[in-house]
Amino acid sequence: MKQIYVNGQFQNATTDEKIQVVNPATEEFISEVPKAGEQDVNQAISAAKQVQSSWEKKPPVERAEYALSISRSIKNHKQTLQELLMQEQGKTESMAEAELDMTIDYFSYMAGFARHLEGDVIPSDRPNETMMLIKKPIGIVGGVVPWNFPLMVLARKAAPAIVTGCPVIIKPSQETPLTALKLAEIIHDEVELPAGTFQVITGSGSSVGTPLASHPDVAMISLTGSFAAGSKVMEAAAKHVIKVNLELGGKAPAIVSDEADLDLAVEKVIASRVVNSGQVCTNAERVYVHENVAEPFIQKLTEKMSKVSYGNPLAETGLDMGPLINKEQLDSVEQAVNQAVEAGAKVETGGQKGEASTGYYYEPTVLTNLEEGMDILASEIFGPVLPVDTYQDFDEVIRRANASDYGLSSSIFTKNYNEVMRAVNELKFGEVFVNREHFEALQGFHAGWRKSGIGGADGKYGIEEFLGTTVAYMEYSTK
């Protein structure tokens, strides 16, 4: 896996620099991959341009067969990819299996749109004229993939690109490039996509991401990552007014009403926080519980969070969490909690790095005694930390939930129909989960408000991101 995948073949990068990949559970070296550069990006774009016309002209059902074939191949290699996910990203066995299942489903689900890439026919204001809206592939797509779901999010970029006829160039995270390269190997050996339609280039944001986002022949750059990364991509894309599709950070609120089923709320809030060790942009990042039920809720939450198990997924089974991705992430979570405590927050459970001598572990943590305006309630914390604050009335909690730079996901726990309807209509977030955990479905539309992104993914609206529209004015004569 020490080569990049360009124009249907594995080849050496034009640079000698390497990126080391480390197991976050043990801090042990796994492998190294090329830190490719602008010349490699240009080669990939040239290959994509060469195949673009013939690829676009294939009937969508033919392109969909490739997506279905990829889905089947991933299923056949599920165990290998699952172990690689556990190794390079620190996923638990159950979470790695879930990601593989979602990836398999995503390619097959998107293939189903092959006969539904529909335009429209509109009556003209003029006599003897019909207007036709025709959907076409947008062109070459650059897909920048994060480390927290390196296969599932790759599928989010690649599957709709393949079905719509857009050559796609994937830049995986430098933390988790091995799964993407392994998938490229599987596709190369078993699927035989036309050369240039699917390519994988490893590297850093500056060495690969920026040249990809700023290249005039790229039609769209689709990035899932941090707000900082999204801002840099927007800046690079602006040079040639390239379309951006961005899924960025989140600070999802979970509202627990005094009419909630508290046991259900505790179960689902924890599930919404510790999944993937708290490293998901849709995770519940702040809890607002009604003051009338705050005491029993916090007691139940603390008890359950203290029992969340974590460790090395390759050495232990049945774990709830693995490690954080790297030392930088671990230090950032520790700093956020320490600052909150210094500002007056109370640690109900956790609040420390894990006891293991190696690996990047942080204890499942509950914080209370918070005040509005604290940074722990405002800044994204990519780790298993739950700040819990109280509220008095529904107007107040809606205001506080919406008072965020981010607007990706949110949730409410209540048996009150009016509270549900108010939350669904008044929370300014791309997703509102009602009495359930924060995890989106592939047939929905995963999109954020404010600094959480531009555009979206999944479902019929997600695939439209990969399509451009041409309006044909069809005038005819009756003579």
CB of 25 closer than 8 Å to CB of 359: yes
Query: Is the whole model's pTM more than 0.75, yes or no?
Result: yes
Helix (H, G, I), strand (E, B), or coil: what is residue 316?
A: coil
With residues binned 3-state (H G I as helix, E B as strand, rest as coil), the percentages for the chain, rounded to 5, are: 40, 25, 35
pLDDT digits (tens, 9 = 90+) for 421-477: 999 999 999 999 999 998 888 888 888 889 899 999 899 999 999 999 999 999 988
CB of 292 closer than 8 Å to CB of 256: no
Give the Cβ contact number of residue 372 at 10 Å. Answer: 11
Which pLDDT belongs to residue 83? 94
How far is the CA of 78 from the CAs of 145, 176, 267, 439, in angstroms? 20, 17, 29, 22
Whole-number Å distance between alpha carbons of 421 and 331: 40
pLDDT digits (tens, 9 = 90+) for 87-135: 999 999 999 999 999 999 999 999 999 999 889 999 999 999 999 999 9
Is residue 65 flagged as an active site residue? Answer: no
CB of 141 closer than 8 Å to CB of 220: yes
CATH 3.40.50.1370 correct for 4-248+452-472: no
Whole-number Å distance between alpha carbons of 401 and 202: 38
CATH 3.40.50.720 correct for 252-442: no
Handedness of CA 265, 267, 270, 271 (dihedral sign): negative
* Options 88, 175, 247, 464, the catalytic residue: 247
Q: Return the bridge partners of 368, or none.
A: 346
pLDDT digits (tens, 9 = 90+) for 244-289: 999 998 999 999 999 999 999 999 999 999 999 999 988 999 999 9
C-alpha of 354 from chain center: 26
Q: What would the two tokens of residue 11 be?
A: 């080849």
Q: What would the two tokens of residue 366 be?
A: 């509950």
How far is the CA of 10 from the CAs of 196, 202, 298, 312, in angstroms? 12, 12, 53, 32
Which pLDDT belongs to residue 277? 94
Query: Of how many residues is the chain composed?
Result: 479
User: Shortest CA distance to 291 belongs to which of 401, 418, 393?
Assistant: 393
| Domain chopping of the chain, boundaries | 4-248+452-472, 252-442
